[in-house]
Amino acid sequence: MIVLIKDHADPIQLENLISWLKGMGLDVHKSVGQTQTLLGLIGDTSTVDMDVIRSLDIVENVQRVQEPYKNANRKFHRDDTVVSCGGALIGGGHFLMIAGPCSVESEEQIIGVARRVKAAGAHLLRGGAFKPRTSPYAFQGLKAEGVRLLLEAKKEVGIPIITEIMDINHLPLFEDVDVIQVGARNMQNFELLRELGQIRKPILLKRGLANTIQEWLMSAEYIMAGGNSQVILCERGIRTFETATRNTLDISAVPVLRKLTHLPVVVDPSHATGHSYLVKSMALAGAVSGADGLMIEVHNDPPHALSDGAQSLTPDQFDDVAQAVRNVLPFACRGSEAL
Amino acid sequence: MIVLIKDHADPIQLENLISWLKGMGLDVHKSVGQTQTLLGLIGDTSTVDMDVIRSLDIVENVQRVQEPYKNANRKFHRDDTVVSCGGALIGGGHFLMIAGPCSVESEEQIIGVARRVKAAGAHLLRGGAFKPRTSPYAFQGLKAEGVRLLLEAKKEVGIPIITEIMDINHLPLFEDVDVIQVGARNMQNFELLRELGQIRKPILLKRGLANTIQEWLMSAEYIMAGGNSQVILCERGIRTFETATRNTLDISAVPVLRKLTHLPVVVDPSHATGHSYLVKSMALAGAVSGADGLMIEVHNDPPHALSDGAQSLTPDQFDDVAQAVRNVLPFACRGSEAL
Amino acid sequence: MIVLIKDHADPIQLENLISWLKGMGLDVHKSVGQTQTLLGLIGDTSTVDMDVIRSLDIVENVQRVQEPYKNANRKFHRDDTVVSCGGALIGGGHFLMIAGPCSVESEEQIIGVARRVKAAGAHLLRGGAFKPRTSPYAFQGLKAEGVRLLLEAKKEVGIPIITEIMDINHLPLFEDVDVIQVGARNMQNFELLRELGQIRKPILLKRGLANTIQEWLMSAEYIMAGGNSQVILCERGIRTFETATRNTLDISAVPVLRKLTHLPVVVDPSHATGHSYLVKSMALAGAVSGADGLMIEVHNDPPHALSDGAQSLTPDQFDDVAQAVRNVLPFACRGSEAL
Amino acid sequence: MIVLIKDHADPIQLENLISWLKGMGLDVHKSVGQTQTLLGLIGDTSTVDMDVIRSLDIVENVQRVQEPYKNANRKFHRDDTVVSCGGALIGGGHFLMIAGPCSVESEEQIIGVARRVKAAGAHLLRGGAFKPRTSPYAFQGLKAEGVRLLLEAKKEVGIPIITEIMDINHLPLFEDVDVIQVGARNMQNFELLRELGQIRKPILLKRGLANTIQEWLMSAEYIMAGGNSQVILCERGIRTFETATRNTLDISAVPVLRKLTHLPVVVDPSHATGHSYLVKSMALAGAVSGADGLMIEVHNDPPHALSDGAQSLTPDQFDDVAQAVRNVLPFACRGSEAL
The predicted pLDDT at position B336 comes to 43
Side chain identity at C115, as an amino acid letter?
R
| pLDDT of C115 strictly over 90 | yes
Chain D residues interacting with chain B (CB cutoff of 8 angstroms): 210, 212-214, 238, 240-245, 248-256, 259, 272-273, 277-278, 280-282, 284-290, 324, 327-328, 331-333, 337-339
ipTM metric: 0.90
The predicted pLDDT at position D92 comes to 96
CB B338 to CB D284 under 8 A?
Answer: no
The predicted pLDDT at position C2 comes to 80
Facing residues of D298 across strands? D313
The predicted pLDDT at position D11 comes to 87
Do A9 and A38 contact (CB within 8 A), yes or no?
no
Nearest CB to D29 within list A31, A43, A63? A31
The predicted pLDDT at position D47 comes to 67
pLDDT in tens, B197-241: 999 999 999 999 999 999 999 999 999 999 999 999 999 999 999
| pLDDT of A339 strictly over 50 | no
Q: What is the 3-state secondary structure (H, E, C) of C38-74?
A: EEEEECCCCCCCHHHHHCCCCEEEEECCCCCCCCCEH
| pLDDT of B305 strictly over 60 | no
| pLDDT of C309 strictly over 50 | no
Among A8, A48, A189, which would you mutate to test the B interface (most chain B Cβ atoms within 10 Å of its Cβ)?
A189
Question: What does pLDDT average to over chain A?
Answer: 90
Q: Which one of 3.30.410.40, 3.20.20.70, 3.40.50.300, 3.40.50.150 gives the CATH number of domain A83-338?
A: 3.20.20.70
Share of chain C above pLDDT 70, in %: 94
Distance from CA of A312 to the nearest CA of C (A): 14
CB C277 to CB A286 under 8 A?
Answer: no
Choose among B82, B75, B93: nearest CA to B260.
Answer: B75
Mean pLDDT of C11-16: 88
The predicted pLDDT at position A337 comes to 44
| pLDDT of C331 strictly over 90 | yes
Question: Which CATH superfamily groups domain C2-63?
Answer: Phospho-2-dehydro-3-deoxyheptonate aldolase; domain 1 (3.30.70.1140)
The predicted pLDDT at position C304 comes to 38
pLDDT in tens, C210-250: 999 999 999 999 999 999 999 999 999 999 999 999 999 99
Neighbours of D22 (CB within 10 A): 13
Share of chain C above pLDDT 90, in %: 69
- When pLDDT is cut at 50, 70 and 90, the band that residue C125 belongs to is very high
- When pLDDT is cut at 50, 70 and 90, the band that residue D67 belongs to is confident
The predicted pLDDT at position D170 comes to 96
pLDDT in tens, B254-274: 999 999 999 999 999 999 998
Distance from CA of C192 to the nearest CA of B (A): 27
CB A68 to CB B137 under 8 A?
Answer: yes
The predicted pLDDT at position D339 comes to 39
Among B67, B131, B165, B189, which would you mutate to test the A interface (most chain A Cβ atoms within 10 Å of its Cβ)?
B189
**CA torsion through residues D157, D162, D165, D171, sign:** positive
Of A80-94, B49-63, B286-300, least confident by mean pLDDT is: B49-63
Nearest CB to C280 within list A259, A278, A338? A338
Number of H helices, E strands in chain D: 11, 14
CA angle D75, D79, D83 (to 5 degrees): 120
Chain D residues with CB under 8 Å of B268 CB are none
Range with the largest mean pLDDT of A16-25, A248-257, C38-47, D35-44: A248-257
Mean pLDDT of D54-73: 82
Mean pLDDT of A296-311: 58
Higher-pLDDT residue of A249 and C19 is A249
- When pLDDT is cut at 50, 70 and 90, the band that residue A301 belongs to is low
The yes-or-no answer to whether C2-63 and C83-338 have a common fold is no
- When pLDDT is cut at 50, 70 and 90, the band that residue C107 belongs to is very high
In whole angstroms, what is the distance from residue D23 CA to residue D11 CA? 18
Choose among A133, A126, A167: nearest CA to A147.
Answer: A126
The predicted pLDDT at position B256 comes to 97
Chain A residues interacting with chain C (CB cutoff of 8 angstroms): 210, 212-214, 238, 240-245, 248-256, 259, 272-273, 277-278, 280-282, 284-290, 324, 327-328, 331-333, 337-339
Facing residues of A205 across strands? A182, A233
Mean pLDDT of C108-112: 94
CB C256 to CB A245 under 8 A?
Answer: yes
Range with the largest mean pLDDT of A20-29, A148-157, B38-47, D57-66: A148-157
Choose among B329, B328, B331, B325: nearest CA to B313.
Answer: B325
Side chain identity at C255, as an amino acid letter?
P
pLDDT in tens, D155-192: 999 999 999 999 999 999 999 999 999 999 999 999 99
- When pLDDT is cut at 50, 70 and 90, the band that residue A166 belongs to is very high
The predicted pLDDT at position D321 comes to 97
Do C197 and C169 contact (CB within 8 A), yes or no?
no
pLDDT in tens, D300-327: 764 333 333 356 899 999 999 999 999 9
The predicted pLDDT at position C337 comes to 43
Choose among B66, B124, B121, B130: nearest CA to B103.
Answer: B130
CA of B33: how far to CAs of B9, B15, B30, D72, D232, in Å? 13, 17, 10, 57, 50
The predicted pLDDT at position A289 comes to 98
Mean pLDDT of D8-24: 86
The predicted pLDDT at position C299 comes to 87
Neighbours of C112 (CB within 10 A): 18
Among B8, B57, B65, B259, which would you mutate to test the C interface (most chain C Cβ atoms within 10 Å of its Cβ)?
B65
The predicted pLDDT at position A32 comes to 76
Nearest CB to D222 within list C58, C136, C222? C136
- When pLDDT is cut at 50, 70 and 90, the band that residue B302 belongs to is very low
The predicted pLDDT at position A21 comes to 87
Of A87-96, B131-140, B153-162, B170-179, least confident by mean pLDDT is: B131-140
Of B108-117, C304-313, C315-324, least confident by mean pLDDT is: C304-313
| pLDDT of C52 strictly over 90 | no
The predicted pLDDT at position A149 comes to 97
- When pLDDT is cut at 50, 70 and 90, the band that residue D34 belongs to is low
Question: Cα-flanking dihedrals φ and ψ of residue C14, to 5°?
Answer: -65, -45
Q: Where are the domains of chain C?
A: 2-63, 83-338
Mean pLDDT of A101-128: 95
| pLDDT of B90 strictly over 90 | yes
Share of chain B above pLDDT 70, in %: 94
Mean pLDDT of C257-283: 95
Mean pLDDT of A111-123: 97
Mean pLDDT of C113-137: 95
Mean pLDDT of D290-302: 88
- When pLDDT is cut at 50, 70 and 90, the band that residue D274 belongs to is confident
Facing residues of D267 across strands? D235, D294
Question: What does pLDDT average to over chain D?
Answer: 90
